[in-house]
Amino acid sequence: MADADPQKTFNVHDAKTQLSKLMDRAHAGEEILLAKAGQPWARLVPLDHAPAVKPKRQPGGLKVLREIPDSVWFDPLPEDELELWEGKRLDKYFP
């Protein structure tokens, strides 16, 4: 492998201490090489695309909820369970 340009090559320790500056240089279009034990190991380059824009959320996107029958959501509780939830027949369980 050819020797890398020392102005654009940084060992891991130096890169950690100057990461912010190196990111600015890469963002400006410069290619930065990161080296480990003097050997080129990784490349810091600018992204070639703009950040993805999230699409606006559309309500009702979970189609699986449309397949659940209404009885699951709207059937009332049996009378004895409803009384327990309302605290009316607790003496049956706590004499």
Residue 25, in any domain of the structure: yes
Smallest CA-to-CA distance from 35 within 54, 55, 7, 58 is with: 7
pTM score > 0.85 for this model? no
Residue 55, in any domain of the structure: no
Q: pLDDT averaged over consecutive 10-residue blocks of the chain (95 residues)?
A: 67 92 91 91 83 77 74 77 80 70
Q: Are 44 and 23 in contact (CB under 8 A)?
A: yes
Task: Give the number of domains in the chain.
Answer: 2
Residue 52, in any domain of the structure: no
Structural element, H or E, at residue 36: strand 32-36
- pLDDT of 6 reads 59
Residue 49, in any domain of the structure: no
User: Which range of residues forms the domain containing residue 80?
Assistant: 63-90
